[in-house]
Amino acid sequence: PIGVARESVALVLFLFGSAAVIGLVLAGIFADRFPRGALVVALLAIAIPVLTIGLAPGIPWIVFPALVLWSIGFGAAPPILQTRMLHSTTKRIRDIAGAYLTTSFNIGIGMGALIGAILLDLVSIRALPFADALLTFAALAVFLVGDARLRRAQARQPAVRL
pTM as predicted: 0.85
Which pLDDT score is estimated for 41? 96
**Rounded Cα distance, 76 and 41, in Å:** 9
- The tens digit of pLDDT for each residue in 95-108 reads 999 999 999 999 99
- The tens digit of pLDDT for each residue in 14-39 reads 989 999 999 999 999 999 899 899 99
Helix axes 60-88, 35-55, angle to 10 degrees: 150
**Rounded Cα distance, 54 and 72, in Å:** 18
Tell which phi-psi region holds residue 161, choosing left (phi > 0), alpha (psi between -120 and 50) or beta: beta
